[in-house]
């Protein structure tokens, strides 16, 4: 966008327009004082005088700024410049989850579970601040080039302080990701976000939301389907989904809030137990490698993909094999030493000729061998 190439808004230098929607405009910017990239969001000029939208915009800044977590997009500032309100937030170098799903059609269960763990961690932090997001969907989940997922866009978040932006009986959100209670404008709580999270997880696994059969269907049919709580089993559309993950999906999608998981913490703990300590620790490297291999970042695919850094651990099989090798080596050395002391000169098999070497050389070679095999994490 040429007109904003050298434009300054507050303490930010605008570099160009990223996106424009029905309500707002998003710019890529740079903050010279702190030498960091940023994103500026503002309402469209023709909507700037709408008080309700202005209040909603202000609430987004306040809600997001109150949460500080690695799985939530950070808000840097909220300010007014020449009569228009702006939100300055973290620039996430990557793509949104909706783009990743479109690029790959569906995600492997292990990758989906790892991304979902980050989403659960983000929701846990949001809910701990007394906030209900109310608009969780794939386009509001950012994936960094390093494999981390971040929850974004608090535009219709509901905090513990202040009244709701809409009156009871009026639904706000994206219908295909909304819980039944949210669809009917009833009171919502964190379990409504868990319902939306379940829809997101289902879509990652199946390539489509559970209740929306097509993009063109009318909202009334969608609402009736969500209210009924009926949807195709995830293992029918994605047969390789582990049973534990399928059960988690179905629990999140229960029509009655009290039958869903009690909190995002419960979901996080279930994922951590099922994935295992190693996968939880290395999930970002694993997700990043998978996304790069599947061209989730088309604008960046000509660049060299970052090499995921993973911890090198020795598995139990490698340790057992190393112990056996050490025991065999010690037995050979003892045998050779005993023969030498007794003055017995028996021919050794070709594979044991190393036992005739001086003790120091044999020990050195054995140590080097074991260090090379165990240190590299390769089973002997």
The predicted-structure confidence for 203-252, as pLDDT tens digits, reads as follows 999 999 998 766 556 677 888 888 888 899 999 999 999 999 999 999 99
Q: What is the mean pLDDT of the chain?
A: 80
Q: Which one of 135, 153, 295, 345 is the catalytic residue?
A: 135
Q: What CA–CA distance (Å, rounded) separates 342 from 325?
A: 26
Evaluate whether the domain defined by 94-300 bears CATH number 1.10.510.10.
yes
Question: Residue 51: its pLDDT value, please?
Answer: 79
Q: If you average pLDDT over each of 113-127, 220-234, 285-299, which comes out highest?
A: 113-127
Between 83 and 198, the more confident residue is 198
| 182 backbone dihedrals φ, ψ, rounded to 5° | -75, -35
Question: Residue 244: its pLDDT value, please?
Answer: 97
Residue 255: pLDDT band (50, 70, 90) is very high
Which among 158, 154, 155 has a CA at the least distance from the CA of 168? 158
Question: Which range has the worst mean pLDDT, 137-146, 297-306, 367-376?
Answer: 367-376
* Predicted TM-score of the model (pTM): 0.74
Which among 210, 211, 202, 189 has a CA at the least distance from the CA of 256? 189
B/e letters for 81-102, b = 16+ CB within 10 Å, e = fewer, are eeeebbbbbbbbebbbbebbbe
Sequence-separated (6 or more) residues with CB below 8 Å from residue 319: 374
Between 41 and 46, the more confident residue is 41
Evaluate whether the domain defined by 2-90 bears CATH number 3.40.50.300.
no
Helix-then-strand count for the chain, H and E: 12, 9
E strand or H helix at 56: helix 51-65
Most distant CA pair in the chain: distance in Å?
A: 103
- Domain borders along the chain are 2-90, 94-300, 316-375
Which among 45, 71, 204, 57 has a CA at the least distance from the CA of 127? 71
DSSP for 62-97, written as a single string? HHHHT---TTBPPEEEEEEETTEEEEEEE--SEEEH
DSSP, res 21: -
E strand or H helix at 339: helix 316-342
Using CB atoms within 10 Å of the CB of residue 279, give its burial: 0 to 12 exposed, 13 to 18 middle, 19+ buried.
Answer: middle
Active-site residue, 118 included: no
The predicted-structure confidence for 148-195, as pLDDT tens digits, reads as follows 999 998 755 544 444 443 333 444 568 889 999 998 888 899 999 999
């Amino acid at each position: 966008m040429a007109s904003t190439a050298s434009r300054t808004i507050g303490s930010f230098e605008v570099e160009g327009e990223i996106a424009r929607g029905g309500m707002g405009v998003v710019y890529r910017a740079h903050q010279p004082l702190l030498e960091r990239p940023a994103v500026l969001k503002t309402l469209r000029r023709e909507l700037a005088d709408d008080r309700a939208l202005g209040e909603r915009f202000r609430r987004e800044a306040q809600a997001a700024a109150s949460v500080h977590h690695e799985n939530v997009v950070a808000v840097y500032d909220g300010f007014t410049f020449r009569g228009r309100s702006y939100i300055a937030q973290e620039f996430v170098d990557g793509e949104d989850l909706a783009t990743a799903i479109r690029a790959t059609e569906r995600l492997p269960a292990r990758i989906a579970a790892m991304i979902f763990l980050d989403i659960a961690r983000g929701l846990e932090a949001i809910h701990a601040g007394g906030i209900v997001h109310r608009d969780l969907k794939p386009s509001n989940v950012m994936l960094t080039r390093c494999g981390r997922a971040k929850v974004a866009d608090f535009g219709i978040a509901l905090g513990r302080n202040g009244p709701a932006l809409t009156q009871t009986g009026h639904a706000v959100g994206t219908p295909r990701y909304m819980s039944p209670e949210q669809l009917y404008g009833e009171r919502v709580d964190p379990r409504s976000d868990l319902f939306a999270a379940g829809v997101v997880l289902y879509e990652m696994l199946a390539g489509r939301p559970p209740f929306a059969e097509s993009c063109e269907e009318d909202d009334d049919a969608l609402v009736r389907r969500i209210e009924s709580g009926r949807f195709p089993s995830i293992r029918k559309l994605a047969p390789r989904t582990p049973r534990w993950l399928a059960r988690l999906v179905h629990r999140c999608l229960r029509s009655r809030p009290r039958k869903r998981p009690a909190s995002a913490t419960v979901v996080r703990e279930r994922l951590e137990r099922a994935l295992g300590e190693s996968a939880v620790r290395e999930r970002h490297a694993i997700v990043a490698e998978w996304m790069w291999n599947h061209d989730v970042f088309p604008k960046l695919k000509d660049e060299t993909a970052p090499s995921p850094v993973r911890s090198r651990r020795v598995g139990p099989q490698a340790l057992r094999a190393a112990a056996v090798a050490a025991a065999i080596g010690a037995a050979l050395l003892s045998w050779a030493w005993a023969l030498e002391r007794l003055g017995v000169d028996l021919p050794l098999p070709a594979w044991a000729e190393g036992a005739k070497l001086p003790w120091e050389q044999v020990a050195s070679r054995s140590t080097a061998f074991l260090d090379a095999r165990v240190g590299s994490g390769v089973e002997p």
